[in-house]
């Protein structure tokens, strides 16, 4: 299904539906409360969520998280646009290295410029994220250097 998506920064009033959306798409909601202001959302013409992507900030490191597109809208570039939007925000905020954790979407993120890195090579600042410490302890870590 193709629609003219509207992209915008999330606000606290979007929190509950972002959490529900992440749950529906198999992603954890832990930590979203703290970072919701750094989320970008895509809505369809009725204002329903069709995609989200979030950013946690740790000095010069960022963590791209909660990238999800509703099943029926997948494969049409919405995910890529959400990720580029978050990457632009990260860059504007002085982030030099953008990380993410993923169980099974590594090939997707490789196409967007991310590379797998060893956990020991991850910036210490970003390791405090609950995504690292509590949620995705076994997930692959990927990094994209932002210039
Ligand atoms: C990963 C996800 C966000 C991609 O969103 P999307 O809007 O469908 O992605 P895009 O339209 O930008 O890109 C689609 C392309 O990526 C590929 N792709 C999608 N998910 C993929 C995955 N998990 N692994 C490898 N490739 C994938 C599609 O096959 C398609 O390829 P094509 O262009 O050759 O046809 C979406 O599939 C999703 O919400 N998945 C569930 C949640 C998730 O795993 N999130 C990532 C972990 S944080």
Minimum-distance ligand 1 atom for the alpha carbon of 79: 7
Q: Pull the structure tokens for residue 78.
A: 């919405």
CA 133 to centroid of ligand 1, rounded, Å: 25
92 lines ligand 1 (CB under 6 A): no
- The domain locations on the chain are 6-145
Output the pLDDT for position 38.
Answer: 97
112 lines ligand 1 (CB under 6 A): no
Q: Is the dihedral of CA 44, 87, 121, 31 positive or negative?
A: negative
77 lines ligand 1 (CB under 6 A): yes
Q: In CATH, what number does 6-145 get?
A: 3.40.630.30
Tell me the whole-structure pTM to 2 decimals: 0.95
CA 32 to centroid of ligand 1, rounded, Å: 21
Output the pLDDT for position 111.
Answer: 97
72 lines ligand 1 (CB under 6 A): no
- Give the angle subtended at the CA of 27 by the CAs of 18 and 65, to the nearest 5°: 75
User: Phi and psi for 119 in degrees, rounded to 5?
Assistant: -60, -30
Digits of tens for pLDDT over the chain (147 positions)?
A: 778 899 999 999 999 999 999 999 999 999 999 999 999 999 999 999 999 999 999 999 999 999 999 999 999 999 999 999 999 999 999 999 999 999 999 999 999 999 999 999 999 999 999 888 887 677 899 999 997
């Amino acid at each position: 299904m193709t629609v003219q998506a509207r992209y915008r920064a999330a606000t606290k009033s979007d929190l509950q539906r972002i959490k529900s959306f992440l749950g529906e798409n198999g992603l954890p909601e832990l930590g979203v409360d703290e970072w919701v202001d750094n989320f970008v959302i895509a809505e369809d013409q009725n204002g329903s969520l069709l995609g989200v992507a979030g950013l946690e900030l740790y000095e010069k490191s960022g963590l791209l998280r909660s990238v999800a597109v509703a099943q029926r809208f997948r494969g049409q570039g919405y995910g890529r646009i959400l990720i580029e939007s978050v990457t632009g925000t990260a860059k504007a905020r002085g982030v030099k290295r953008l990380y993410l954790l993923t169980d099974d979407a590594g090939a997707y993120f490789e196409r967007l410029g991310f590379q797998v890195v060893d956990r020991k090579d991850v910036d210490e600042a970003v390791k405090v994220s609950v995504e690292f410490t509590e949620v995705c302890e076994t997930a692959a870590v990927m990094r994209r250097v932002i210039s």
